[in-house]
Structure 1
């Protein structure tokens, strides 16, 4: 059976006043500490006592003391109120300066390309921020996963996210090892891929990603086959360098291996473009200082 729940309005109302009077044992001095009138303090205490159903203070013309109920309330409410105040200060601290835990969801292939060059300098610049990088190619829900932001290719970012560009647009490139291309030849048309071992990527939703090409202004997708399916680009790239087959990856992921001669690009005239890599987050109203610091540092490092 569904239980009815009623929010307790004003549960903390009057507690700070009670603690001030209990500390000072004097209504007038407590009022001075709080910056209010003595009558306001008296009224707040009377309201609190009425809500508690018990007198909290024993008052005479000369002194103010705690009743047994007041002492019990002080013993429990004092430490609890201090914790609430400390919690508020901690939350305010995170909202006002770069501090706290910054959690990012990032594809594995992006870590060496974008993050590794700036991690050390960021940690030195912001020693009060704990940077946590969850390297995964799964598309995660930032709020559910407890992440402050994510980094992804632009076409995979939901339209309701705030996106910050990290790289220019770039193309996808099909690559193979010199040994593989010597044994099997270079494909010259998309249709030629039917005769090649093509290494494929399985997306986080379970679907195998088709290979994308651009024939003039027309987008072309090819459903290829091959001996290996992986969940990330670095694995596909490593297999391609071992001569297992051809792989299609974002060009920045393969550039180093191409420059070293470990891989050769093919079908260059049919390369499909992608918008680039973006950092994204849901913070449309306010970006916390720790995330703002990270975004600014990324931009300056780039």
Structure 2
């Protein structure tokens, strides 16, 4: 009887999860060709085709779907056993895979991730940034970092820091000769640097004061999908921007940017580290959670 090894089973699960060899190979830390050869060799030994392959797509065969479903529970048990074995090490080792937005990754890099790596030099942190929200379990991540409102309800969430605020800003030169906006509706007379969501739609600037909420579709000469590019455009005097406060705090303090409508931008719950609820955490993830709590994030 042909009994595949754990590495081969992990390879099958990764290809099935990503529905392709390229992303699965990146996750497994091997070349695409090596992964393809490994899967083909396993299929030959088993005498069963697990995947339909074309030049454009990879899909499980009926036998492959059954094989993936049958082996997934055993692999989870094996991973858990290895994780528990890691408890006996003096310090955690291995790779911690985290998914989050680019902005979230920038916010936690210095205060959290760099400190984590200083304390646990045997660990590797693999951060994948993307705008769209992904299923961290399905995509093979240990944890995610998103705004609290974006965290799925079935996840355990640990706050990563204080509440956040947005800020409407422009340069002193831009506002010279223009009336400062007093209400969100006044933005209709200003050039707004707009932001595009990962879904493709345009983000509506959200405001709230004394229980009144307003969403503004501004107009302007530029639409961007990256907050740092938006900040560059605002600094250049092209118009006003609606950006996270932490992006513009230094510019405001230095007088390079003026903030308006501050009373219309109340704080809201900030970033969270989140992960699936399970009885045993991998040592690396547990160490990261403990560090977040120590630094004051887990209130």
TM-score range, shorter chain: 0.5 to 0.7
TM-score (norm 1): 0.65
1:111 positional shift: 3.2
Q: Which runs of 5+ in 2 are unaligned?
A: 5-77
Residue aligning to 2:107: 113
> Secondary structure of 2:165's partner?
strand
Task: Please name the residue that 1:191 is paired with.
Answer: 185
Residue equivalent to 1:93: 85
Residue of 113, 116, 131 corresponding to 1:137 = 131
The DSSP-based 3-state class of the residue aligned with 1:170 is coil
1:239 alignment partner in structure 2 = 233
CA distance in 1, matches of 2:88, 2:194: 46
Q: Is the 8 A contact 1:137 1:231 kept in 2?
A: no
**Counterparts of 1:267 and 1:87, CA distance in 2:** 51
The 5 A counterparts of 1:55-74 are none
SS in 1 for 2:280: coil
Q: Provide the rounded CA distance (Å) in 1 between the counterparts of 2:122 and 2:290.
A: 16
Query: Which residues in structure 2 correspond to 1:1-302 (within 5 Å)?
Result: 90=82, 92-94=84-86, 98-302=92-296
Compute the displacement of 1:127 (Å): 1.9
Q: Is the 8 A contact 1:102 1:130 kept in 2?
A: yes
Structure whose CA Rg is larger = 1
What are the ranges of 5 or more consecutive residues in structure 1 without an aligned counterpart? Answer: 1-7, 12-85
Moved over 4 A (4+): 86-92, 94-97
Q: 1:276 deviation in Å? A: 1.3
